[in-house]
Amino acid sequence: MLNYEKLEDGIFLVRSNSKFGEQCNGILIKNIENSGNILIDCNFNSNEIQELYKSLNNKLTAYYASHTHLDHVSNIHYYETLGVKIYCPIPEDRYLKDMNTFMEENGMVDCGVDDIFRNIILQTLNFKHLTRCTAFKPGTKFNYGKIILETIHIPGHSPGHTAYLIRDKTCVRRDILFVSDLGIERSGPWYGLKHCNLKAYRNSIKKIEDIYLYGSSDDKILASGHGKSYLIKQPEIFRNTLKKIEINEGKVLSMFHADKPKNLNDITLKGVYYTEKHIRNLFTDFKKIHFFWEWYIILHHINELIEKNKLIEVDSEQKSFMLK
């Protein structure tokens, strides 16, 4: 079953209440003054997609993806079978046609976990490649009648990660800023793949903060891919998001000593990002995946800490490091 939270007249934050699999929130813009029905990130299961499609009288003008992490796109092929035009930000459109590229570029092959990921992507999640996908450059504006859909490039979480600013040309509705996986929810920013980039992530958080606090209108509704919506202005929210990255950095630094080097493998899954309680309850393959994700989260911090002259690399093969 889907739950529709009204953000503005005709605009909803849509959630699944299914207990199975990783869920993300999506946005529905419902045919405002003949603008057509538009969806963003509504990666629901097949029954829910049918329910949603039926509720829109089988009319869907466009579907937009914010990025191609599997919790956001694993069911996107259902929309293609309905004949819906699917938009995906460059350079991630390639992944929807070939997940092997995603795995090669994200370290799964290098780290020997590509078979586990392939099995989960194709069997467990039942992901199917798209035959068609319309790529767009983040920053492009799309017009649907009185609605302007502004896409905003927010790389860092992924290279094409895109936020959406939904504006009403007649200013009858408040602006809605959908920031997908920028990390404003409780768990914070996530950067557990090779293609994540911490510097870009911080810049994207600051960029969205500027738009939220000082952009076209200073009265925006804020929503994201996993958390709740914010109808009342939250001036602190992006500062708190940045703070979570700094806390993670502090935890990584505290793992190292000045007298003896430590290997990256030995400090992974020791509480830097995932709690030990969370890890304890996982099946073997999922534990391996979490190890892989946290390994990259820590590695991104280590690379920055070397640049900041706080850590030195002792052995590049072993990936061992110590405090400077």
Three-state DSSP class for residue 82: coil
Rule CB under 5 A: choose which of 69, 207, 226, 301 binds Zn ion: 69
Closest contact distance (angstroms) between CB of 24 and Zn ion is: 8
Per-residue x/- track, 212-251, Zn ion (CB under 5 A):
----------------------------------------
**Window of 68-76, 111-119, 276-284, 308-316 that interacts with Zn ion by CB under 5 A:** 68-76
Number of C-alpha atoms within 13 angstroms, CB side, residue 141?
11
130 SS3 class = coil
Binding characters for Zn ion, 150-189, by CB under 5 A (x = yes): -------------------------------x--------
Residue 31 or 241: which CB sits closer to Zn ion?
241
Cα–Cα dist 292/272, whole Å:
13
First-to-final CA distance of the chain: 54
DSSP alpha helix (H) spans, the chain: 46-55, 70-73, 76-81, 93-97, 99-105, 114-119, 198-214, 237-254, 264-267, 276-280, 284-307
Least distance from Zn ion to the Cβ atom of residue 64, Å:
15
Min CB(272)–Zn ion separation in Å: 19
Task: Using the structure block, give the residue that is written with the tokens 């929810």.
Answer: 185
* Residue nearest Zn ion, CB atom distance: 69
Nearest distance from C-beta of residue 134 to Zn ion, angstroms: 20
Any contact of residue 195 with Zn ion (CB under 5 A)?
Answer: no
Q: Residue 13's closest CA among 187, 250, 201, 179? A: 179
Query: Which spans of this chain sit near Zn ion (rule: CB under 5 A)?
Result: 69, 181
